[in-house]
Structure 1
């Protein structure tokens, strides 16, 4: 079956209803309350701004809030200098852009921090709001570019790993049953799903034979009662629900309520117009996939169809 762009266009239209845009996080650190409030007011329209009055408090915030795009820190603070604080954020958050504010000529500290990659830019006090905004904007753009490249590398490695896992399963499995769980696991991990099921179809009906993956170790089995499964098999097309609580047709269905699944993607595994299995990806949150991920899913589904066909008819030589 040809998994071409018309089907992907249909899915993308369904995904378009879920807004993925949100403000980037930044952290401002200064022991002077007036400066801290000024920094907050300067950037609150464009960023989700976190405030900390010391390096110690800032480290605690990062521990609880996670990575931020930009950190602006004063240099002269009690307990911990700004450069010392920023250096301690590097191992865990290497992509974060760090900006230091200084009213003193701490040349040695600043040069060392900049040369070691701990500081993106330093700004002298009193700062010019326009200049600081411009620096932060460039820093945020640099952060986005770094994250984009990191994500592209991760995706490339994940895609290679997924396709390799499918091929390896086809080569090593000696039965259809043996091949299902490794494939479900590979898909679940690659697409960061909370659960994944690869269940066999015979005569356009689900049978008990299946392989499962669960991120938390438990997974409820309710595909035989799911309307999306029936549609996927009957129409031989992918079915997707990106935000089940907001879908009036699905929100009240018992197994969605009980399981907590909020996004569900169903892909029929097809070989020569016969549905061999269905692949179910489940998330406990509203979720979307990029177009390149959808393309990978359909390409991988074709590989899975070949793998299942090989293992279904494979017979070990005595």
Structure 2
């Protein structure tokens, strides 16, 4: 089982789509205060604009704020040129689109940066505000497309990793208890959940046997108090609330607030009309699920049912 646990963490990437701010973040970098202020005012209505007055400060902003869609940087700055600064951002933020502003003809630096994929476009000073806006808008659209393609690839890898783990558990598990935590871990990783519980059921009642996983460590189990879990057991159908705060049927349910759970999905694990358990996925932010994700969940739940049934049969024979 140790090999299975090592496989589980090969592709940690959300299949669930976390709700994001409407405005993309961009970073503007210029050592001249007037230019920096002008860039900020030019884009503040359409973007969440971050500012930095040097390459070093810009790296600190990125370290604190994380990835941005577009970076607009002056080329001629003291201590660190714009192209040098941008090159330092490529390894950590490969999808970010980079634009250089230059009042000089630093052709060699610019050509090298463009050829190395570090610069999307360069704009000469003084720039035309309309032209610059159009360039940045296209850059933002390019970023969105890159993110979409990157996420599709990572999603496919995550799906394959999840299915591989479930098949492996089915083939290698020697006891029922051994299967539960690896399965919970695999689901948590694949769907970027903040918590996952796989709890067994006997005669349509939750029993103590369970496996759970949370990236943060300890995870409270309140499924026996939960109306979504009761509904899943009663109907044999998946129950989901992807924005608990706006869900009228969960108004006043304290265990969601107490455990900072803002989205919850409960999947019955059933084999030939025999309910074996429930799988609970929990997120600390509202989220949404696409049709292909729901299909993967149904397929994975069927594999979990096979894994649990196989482990039970093996245990009975022993």
Both proteins in one fold, TM over 0.5? yes
Question: C-alpha displacement at 1:51, in angstroms?
Answer: 1.2
Distance 1:271 1:316, change over 3 A: closer
Partner of residue 148, structure 2: 148
Deviations 1:163-206 (A, max 9, x none): 11111001111122221111111001111111101111111111
Partner of residue 256, structure 1: 256
Separation of aligned partners in 1, 2:197 and 2:316? 26
After superposition, residues 49-64 of structure 1 pair within 5 angstroms as 49-64=49-64
Question: C-alpha displacement at 1:151, in angstroms?
Answer: 0.8
Partner of residue 301, structure 2: 301
Separation of aligned partners in 1, 2:139 and 2:317? 62
Q: Does structure 1 retain, via aligned residues, the 8 Å contact 2:266–2:281?
A: yes
Question: C-alpha displacement at 1:243, in angstroms?
Answer: 2.1
Secondary structure at the residue paired with 2:45?
Answer: coil
Separation of aligned partners in 2, 1:317 and 1:305? 18
- How many residue pairs get aligned? The number is 303
Deviations 1:220-274 (A, max 9, x none): 1211111111100101111112222333442422322322222111011112222
After superposition, residues 71-220 of structure 1 pair within 5 angstroms as 71-220=71-220
Q: Does structure 1 retain, via aligned residues, the 8 Å contact 2:70–2:97?
A: yes
Q: Does structure 2 retain, via aligned residues, the 8 Å contact 1:40–1:49?
A: yes
Separation of aligned partners in 1, 2:207 and 2:137? 55
Partner of residue 7, structure 1: none
Q: Structure 1 stretch 18-27 or stretch 213-222: which is displaced more?
A: 18-27
Separation of aligned partners in 1, 2:259 and 2:140? 39
Question: C-alpha displacement at 1:275, in angstroms?
Answer: 1.5
Q: Does structure 1 retain, via aligned residues, the 8 Å contact 2:25–2:48?
A: yes
Question: C-alpha displacement at 1:84, in angstroms?
Answer: 1.3
Question: C-alpha displacement at 1:113, in angstroms?
Answer: 1.2
Separation of aligned partners in 1, 2:309 and 2:263? 29
Separation of aligned partners in 1, 2:25 and 2:32? 21
What TM-score do the two structures reach when normalised by structure 2? 0.90
Q: Does structure 2 retain, via aligned residues, the 8 Å contact 1:251–1:257?
A: no
Question: C-alpha displacement at 1:96, in angstroms?
Answer: 0.9
Secondary structure at the residue paired with 2:250?
Answer: coil
Separation of aligned partners in 1, 2:221 and 2:149? 38
Q: Does structure 1 retain, via aligned residues, the 8 Å contact 2:184–2:212?
A: yes
Deviations 1:87-108 (A, max 9, x none): 1111211111110011111111
**Does 1 or 2 have the higher relative contact order (CA < 8 Å, sep 6+)?**
2
Return 5+ residue gaps in structure 2 as ranges: 1-15
Q: Does structure 2 retain, via aligned residues, the 8 Å contact 1:174–1:316?
A: no
Question: C-alpha displacement at 1:291, in angstroms?
Answer: 2.5
Secondary structure at the residue paired with 1:268?
Answer: strand
Separation of aligned partners in 2, 1:143 and 1:29? 19
Distance 1:314 1:157, change over 3 A: same
Separation of aligned partners in 1, 2:180 and 2:202? 15
Residue 22 in structure 1 maps to residue 40 in structure 2:
no
Separation of aligned partners in 2, 1:153 and 1:316? 41
Secondary structure at the residue paired with 2:287?
Answer: coil
Partner of residue 244, structure 2: 244
Residue 312 in structure 1 maps to residue 315 in structure 2:
no
RMSD: 2.0
Partner of residue 274, structure 1: 274
